[in-house]
Every structure is written in structure tokens, then in C-alpha cells.
Structure 1
Amino acid sequence: MAVPLPRPHPDDVRIACAGLLGGLLLWGVGLGVRGPRDPIILWDGRWPILVPLVVMAGCELLRRTCPRTGLLIGVAALTVDTITQGNLVTWVMFTDLVYAAVLYSPPAAARRVLWITGVMTVVGTLVSLATWRKPEALLVGVVVGLVAYTPAATGWIVRNHRDAAEAARLRAEQTALLAEMDRTQAVTAERARMARELHDMVANHLSAIAIHSTAALSLDDPKTTQDALAVIRENSVEGLAEMRRLIGILRDDSGDLEPTAAPTLDGLGSLVEGARANGLDVGLDTEHADSLPAPVELAAYRIVQECLTNALKHAGPGRVTVTLRQRDGSLAIAAISPYGRQDGPRAPGSGAGLVGMRERTALLGGTFEAGPEDSADGKIWAVHVTLPVTDHPQGDPE
């Protein structure tokens, strides 16, 4: 089954038509390359001039799709043209075929065309000098250079510029793609940071509100209802203040809200007092250096805050103990709470708190473990976190 030839490029069709019309115009006015009495002419008459002209114009249709085939046929057509009176347009179209062969052929073929035309120019010059031994013989080399080597060299230069422009375009696209990936990762990281902060800052107060509002609705006791409403109001006010501080962080350039400083371990006492006010029996034991890296202090504060929130929502009756110890270049955090169903109302949980604690720990290169354990006092829920205080490969845990 024959393979159809590729469709010529529209620009090649225009070049072929323009060359053919130009050659016919010169032929019509009787303008040839050689006179009718030139001894090199073997095919006399005006009509033979049209044969290489038409063939060369047909080769122009192949200049992009089959450049090497077009050049080979063009060489044969130019050879025939040399034994006729000749047509200048035929020679001009041949130079375009040489240029196209270097520009559109595969790299190896383009290099071969460049080398062959260069060798032809040198050999033509030397043979002409050796044969005629006259300075005018150099004109043969000049003609060969103009017809063959010059368009080949021009095509090679244009090809190099084109390849360099394509490489620059690919590099620009790759840079843009990497920039977009970095932007997407930065947005994702910022969204995760905001989600962690929003959860850690507000979940504790909302959990207390949910538990005490459920108690107020389920118990027909004015004193209990009054106490629950007091706790609800206190947590609502504190939660609103936390939310405003979070908005201040996000809009620190608005002029109406000041960004808040990141919480530190010095605020654990107030955090525990708030948990006790919400009805949680909490014991806190800390032993650490006076000054720790800010990322470590923030991560430790948020982890303890989330542990107390989870204990308020899910822990059984009993005491919750939180311990912080600094040993051998790391800060160890342990939060132990009774494991089991509460007698009173519970607040729903989504598991986002454990995910947030694990993310904060991973950002600092620490270790995180959470799950039920057996102890002398029964089954407990234990959270163990280790945060290095000297090496932070991932930067700020927020």
C-alpha cells in the first residue's frame, strides 16, 4: 500500500508559484543565464529552459515536508539547467532548497549538507585555479559558494537561533510550571496552617459551649443551668477574642487590627485554668529551659491545648495529667487522660485535632504517638510527643 506524500505547507506552495511565475516572466522576455552560442550549452533552444524550471518549482513544494528529497531532485534539475541557456530563477530556487534542507532536515543531515557545500566550494575553487591558472577562475568558487555554501550557512545560523529560542521557551515554560507548583504548595501549606490555627484557637471554647449547652438543655436544674450559661458566656467571649486575634494575624496590614504575638509555654497556666473552669480535672507538670525556640514553644502550646480539648470532649471521669520535660536537646510532652465514655454530654469530634498535632510535630522533625494504653489505673488515652529544640528542618510549625 503506497504511503501518501505529506501535504505541502501553504507558504511552500506560494514560494513555488512565485518562482514558477518569475521564471516564466524571464523566459518570456528572453533573458537567460548564457548566450545561445555558449559552448557549455548541449540542449539548445528556448523550450528546454522550462524543464529544470518546472522541476525546481515542484521541488519547492517539498522544502519543508521532504527537504532532502527536494534537494536531491533540485541538484539534478540544476545540472540539466547548466546545459541549457539557463534561467536565473531556477538558480535562486535551488539556493532556497539548500537553505531549507539545512533548516528543516534532521540535525545529522543538516550538518552533512553544510559540510558538503563547504567542500564543494573549496574543491571548485582549487580545481578551477589548477585548470585555467587565471585569477578569473576564482569566480567559479565564488559562484559555487553563493549558490551552495552561503544558503547552507544561513540555514545553519537560522536553525541555531530557532533551536535556542525553542530551548528558551521550554525553560520559560518549565520555570512557570515550577513557579505554579511552588505557589500551589505555598497556598496549600498556608491553608493547612490557617486550618490548624483556627481549630486550635477556637475548638476548645466551642467544645465547652457544646458540652455545657447540652447539659443545660438536658438537666432541669436552675443552678446547673445558671452555671452552664456562665461557662457558655465565658467561652463565647474568649472564643470571639481568639477569632479576632486570628483575623488580626491574617489582616495585619488593615490598620484596624493588630496581629497577636504567638502563644508561649508561659501561657500554659492560663490554659489549664480555663480547662478547669470548663469542668476538667487537670494536673500540669513542666520542666524546661526558660527560653526555647519560638516554633517549639508555639507547637508545644498548641499540642497541649488540643490534648485538653480532646480530653474535655472524649475523656472519661478522672484526672488528666500533662507533663513537659526537656531532655537531651528535645522537649517531651505527655498527656494522659482516662479512656472511656463520659457520664455527661459529649461534643462531636472529627479527628482534625490529631491530624493537626501530627502535622505540627512533623514540621519540626519530631515524633508523635497517640492511642489507648493499659495502666495500673485502668485503660488510658496517652499522647506522647517529642520536639527537637535545636534542629528545625521544616521551619515554622504554623
Structure 2
Amino acid sequence: MTTEQHVPPGAQGQEWSSGASALTRHIQRVLQRIRVFDRRRPLVWNLLFTTFFVIAAIIDYGAGGWKTIAANADVPEPLVFSMSLGLSVPLLWRRSHPMPVLCFMTAVALVNSLVGAMLQASLLMLFLLFNVALRKPLKTLGLAALLVIAPIVVGTLRFPKDAWDSQLVPAFWSIALVALLGIAVRTRRDYTGALEDRAHRLEIERDQQAQLAAAAERTRIAREMHDIIGHNLSVITGLADGGAYAARKNPERAVQALEAIGTTSRGALTELRRLLDVLREESPAAELAPAPALSDLDSLIEGVRSAGLPVRTTVKGSPAALPPGMELSVYRVIQEALTNTLKHGGPSATSDVLVSYATDAVTVTVTDTGRGGTPDPDGTGRGLAGMRERTALYQGTLEAGPRSAGGWRVHLRIPIPPTPPSPSPTSSPSPEGPTP
């Protein structure tokens, strides 16, 4: 028994290695839940995030902690309070409008540096820099880095200390690391998105291939059922008509016709059951039988003759060994042509079957002396279409149409695939390998 693990939206394709430690997997699951929650309810997360830093900035102002690092501890407290809010409240829009928010916070940070308050809340600008690196082009990221650096440079020039590099270099490193972190997260996110998109496209292609395969299989099954049922029903119809006529004058012939009807119908039922057994998923051990081949033409023609259609067969050339699928296609074309003659040729029709074998192709010509016309006068049959489909499978050609002298003609030509030459013993390489 297997259980399916629910994968939250947006996390498809992220399967953590089974070799990771339990703590690592737990942390990844927690982070994944946080990301999913943030994606579904971004306002809630933004409010929590902003509220935390607003409270921290107000505490720093109220407790007077800012004075311990300020270059000028005499900055008016209302100004300090306003700057604390100006550097923390805009974080609420850091993801939706990162550049406008950063410009506003830069202006507040410039005032902070000029008056010498040096509020630590100015470090919150690094969150804006991270969001710009995560969502904006590199040119915009360069501009954002300059906006973050500007207040630091102004504060260094306005209130210099012993060494200017001790003020600027750590700030530059912090800005570079935050920018690189944003770029890394963005690259990872884009890579994951590309993998998810590729997986989604592969699923679509897989479904399309499955649909195409199912459609092709349905077509093949429909073609087989048409050939099996259509031919046998035509033979049964001919036998029934002949038996009804013979019953009035020759009862023995009528009995023979009825016996032939029983034999033909049982054979058709057996083939139909075998085909349906193969289609049944719950029947893995369905009874299988070899597909009809050209060696079965004699029994096919005997059945047609017993239905009342005189058939003359002629074979030219030496029968070649054909692939089983090709033999089945030739057999079905002959079967369909004779079935059409039975259905549409009339009571006085006769048929000729000519099979010619050549070195490069097998040719079949089936003609009849019936009334002619199309095999499917109502346009709803699949006989001619099925013959063309079978022929196209092996790059063959099929011509079907009425004859000028009356009747119908079906001409089939299928190329025989070349047989690969068998290697001769003298041409096999030496076991010692090639000579230098």
C-alpha cells in the first residue's frame, strides 16, 4: 500500500534527497510552508515583517539606544521619531514598489546622516536592496546600490572618524553581500521555475503522446473489427440468400448453406471474442492467435466461394517472405475487396485475384464483373479508407475505382523491404585485431 504526499502549489519538482539528515529535511519543510503561506497571503506576512521592525525602531528611539552610536546626541527627539518611522514603515511596500520605497528611505537616511543621529534603522535599506536584486534588472540594481551607499558616504564626510575606510569598507561589503544574495536567490528561483515549466511541458507532451497512441490504437481496433465482422457478415448474408433460394428446389443445398452459416458465424464470434479479450485489462491471459497471413488466402477464398461468389486466383512469381504486418495488410485488402464484391457486385458477379511477387514489391489486383459503383455508396463505411490506411503503413500505393468494362478494380502495390546481407565467415574480423 502506497501513500501520496501532498505537494503544495509552487513546490512541484522539489524533492529533497533521501540522504539528507532529518534536521535538514525538517528545516526545508518549514521553509517550504513559510513560502507557500507567503505566496497565498502576502499582506499578512508583510504586516508581520513591517510591524516587527517598526516596534524595534520605536524601542531604539524610546530607550535612547540610538544615542550610544550617534555622532550628534542633541538631535531633536521628534525628528528622531519621525526618521525612525520613515525608515521602518515603508517596508510594507518593499516588494510591490521597491525602487520608490528605496528612494524615499534614501531621503530619510540622508537627513539621518546630515544631522548625525546615525539611526540603526537605516540598515533596513538593505532589505530594499535585496528585493531590487531579486526582482529588477541589473541596471536597476546598480542604481539601488548607489542609493544605499549615498547616505553612508555623506555620513562619513559629515562626521569623519580616525580612518574613513573603517566606515566605508564594511558598508560596501554589506551592500555587495546583500546584492549577491539577492542575485543567488533569484537565479535559484528562475532555475527552479524553468525546471517546473519543463516538467509541466513534458507532462503535456506525455499526455498528448498517450492521446495520439490511444487514437491510433482505436483506429487499428476499428479497422480490425470492420474487417472481421464486415467480411463474415457479408459471407453469412450471401449464404443465407443462397440457402433461401435453394430451400425451395434443393433442400440438401439449403442444409449445406445453413451449416456454412453456422461455421462462418462461429469463426467470426471466436475472432471477435479474442479481440475483445485482448482489450480487457482484467484479462491478462487472453487467448491469442496468429494474425491472418497470405498462407490463409485459400481458406478465405473458399469461404467467399461458399457464399456464392465465384473467385479465380492466380499467383505469379515465387512467394517472398514478408513481415507479418505486411502480410496482414495484403490479406485484409484482398478480404475487403472480396467483401465489397459480395455486398455490391450483384448475384451474377465474379471476381479475379492476381497476386504477383517481384524482387522489390508484391502486387495484388482484385477485379470483379459486378455492377460497379463505390464500395461505400452512403459514404459511411470504412472499407476503402481502411485499405488506404493499411497500405500507407508500408509506403505502398492503392488504386480503387470502377472499370470501363464494368465492375470494380482494386490494385495494391507494397514495396518489399530489402533483406540485410548475412555476414560471410571470410569477412569476419581476425580475433587478433587489425594489423598495423
Say if 1:109 and 1:225 are closer, same or farther in 2 by CA, change over 3 A. farther
Instruction: Give distance in 1, aligned partners of 2:62 and 2:384.
Output: 91
Q: Deviation string for 1:65-91 (max 9, x for gaps)?
A: 222222222222222222342432x23
Say if 1:139 and 1:86 are closer, same or farther in 2 by CA, change over 3 A. closer
Aligned residues: 367
- Equivalent residue letter for 1:369: E
Q: Within 5 Å, give how 1:196-211 maps onto structure 2.
A: 196-211=223-238
Q: Within 5 Å, give how 1:103-182 maps onto structure 2.
A: 103-105=134-136, 107-109=137-139, 111-113=141-143, 134=163, 137-146=165-174, 148-182=175-209
Unaligned 5+ segments in structure 2 are 1-41, 419-436
Instruction: Give distance in 1, aligned partners of 2:48 and 2:228.
Output: 72
Deviation at 1:329, TM superposition (A): 1.6
Deviation at 1:318, TM superposition (A): 2.5
Instruction: Give distance in 2, aligned partners of 1:332 and 1:30.
Output: 103
Residues 1:268 and 2:302 are matched in the alignment: no
1:332 to 357, 360, 363: 363
Instruction: Give distance in 2, aligned partners of 1:20 and 1:277.
Output: 99
Is contact 2:129–2:141 with CA below 8 Å preserved after alignment?
no
Greater relative CO (CA pairs within 8 A, separation 6+): 1
- Equivalent residue letter for 1:63: R
Residue 22 of structure 1 corresponds to which residue in structure 2? 56
- Equivalent residue letter for 1:193: R
- TM-score (norm. length: structure 2): 0.74
Say if 1:286 and 1:348 are closer, same or farther in 2 by CA, change over 3 A. farther
2:412 to 381, 385, 397: 385
Deviation at 1:202, TM superposition (A): 2.5
Instruction: Give distance in 2, aligned partners of 1:180 and 1:252.
Output: 20
Instruction: Give distance in 1, aligned partners of 2:54 and 2:319.
Output: 92
SS in 2 for 1:379: coil
Instruction: Give distance in 2, aligned partners of 1:306 and 1:35.
Output: 98
1:77 to 108, 119, 141: 108
Q: Deviation string for 1:207-258 (max 9, x for gaps)?
A: 2223444666688727365444233212111112222433455469947543
How large is the RMSD of aligned CA atoms in angstroms? 3.5
Runs of 4+ in 1 over 6 A off after TM superposition: 217-220, 346-349
Instruction: Give distance in 2, aligned partners of 1:214 and 1:154.
Output: 88
Residue 92 of structure 2 corresponds to which residue in structure 1? 61
1:87 to 119, 136, 141: 119
Residue 216 of structure 2 corresponds to which residue in structure 1? 189
Is contact 2:240–2:257 with CA below 8 Å preserved after alignment?
yes
Is contact 1:335–1:383 with CA below 8 Å preserved after alignment?
yes
SS in 1 for 2:66: coil
Is contact 1:282–1:319 with CA below 8 Å preserved after alignment?
yes
- Equivalent residue letter for 1:367: T
Deviation at 1:263, TM superposition (A): 1.9
Instruction: Give distance in 1, aligned partners of 2:269 and 2:403.
Output: 36
| Percent identity of equivalent pairs | 27
Residues 1:231 and 2:263 are matched in the alignment: no
2:327 to 282, 297, 306: 297
1:282 to 298, 311, 315: 311
Is contact 2:372–2:408 with CA below 8 Å preserved after alignment?
no
Deviation at 1:353, TM superposition (A): 1.6
Instruction: Give distance in 2, aligned partners of 1:253 and 1:328.
Output: 45
Deviation at 1:162, TM superposition (A): 0.5
Instruction: Give distance in 2, aligned partners of 1:267 and 1:116.
Output: 87
- Equivalent residue letter for 1:17: T
Deviation at 1:339, TM superposition (A): 3.9
Deviation at 1:47, TM superposition (A): 1.9
SS in 2 for 1:280: coil
Instruction: Give distance in 2, aligned partners of 1:144 and 1:236.
Output: 92
Deviation at 1:182, TM superposition (A): 0.8
- Equivalent residue letter for 1:233: G
Deviation at 1:50, TM superposition (A): 2.3
Unaligned 5+ segments in structure 1 are 1-7, 392-398
249-258 or 196-205: bigger deviation: 249-258
Q: Deviation string for 1:336-371 (max 9, x for gaps)?
A: 1224179xxx99994212121111111112112222
Q: Deviation string for 1:86-112 (max 9, x for gaps)?
A: 432x2342111111111122x344553
Instruction: Give distance in 1, aligned partners of 2:364 and 2:213.
Output: 29
Say if 1:387 and 1:14 are closer, same or farther in 2 by CA, change over 3 A. same
Is contact 1:321–1:337 with CA below 8 Å preserved after alignment?
yes
Say if 1:64 and 1:273 are closer, same or farther in 2 by CA, change over 3 A. same
- TM-score (norm. length: structure 1): 0.80
